[in-house]
Amino acid sequence: MPTLKTELNQIATDLNEIEAVINAGNAFQDAAQKLKGKGKALRTVENDTSISDDTVEVLANRTNDLIRNLVKASSSYNFTKKSFNELKGKLEEAQAQARRGAN
């Protein structure tokens, strides 16, 4: 059966592997900003194509759906990063305690 120290070391290894994902940054907010207002714009510009108004409406709705989902993902990313940092900090404290206890 694994020991607590072994499990802590495994969690530390796992966190190191996923740290790159956390440190990559929150690209969701940037993506949402790029699309902001595009759904509305699709509805208001002159339709100089043979694309039907129904298709334009679907495109506008899907664009707005994507923006909403990107904003939600951005918020989720922020909470994930906070949890990651808290876990990493507590793990480092526990590992330091384990080292002091081993000496």
pLDDT digits (tens, 9 = 90+) for 33-47: 999 999 999 999 999
Note the pLDDT of residue 12: 92
Asked if residue 30 lies in contact with residue 73, where contact means CB atoms within 8 angstroms, the answer is no
List pLDDT tens digits, range 65-103. 999 999 999 999 999 999 999 999 999 999 999 888 866
The predicted pLDDT at position 103 comes to: 63
Query: Which residue type sits at 12?
Result: A
Closest CA to 47 of 60, 35, 62, 34: 60
In the predicted model, is pLDDT for residue 23 greater than 90?
no
Q: What does the block give as tokens for 52?
A: 């039907």
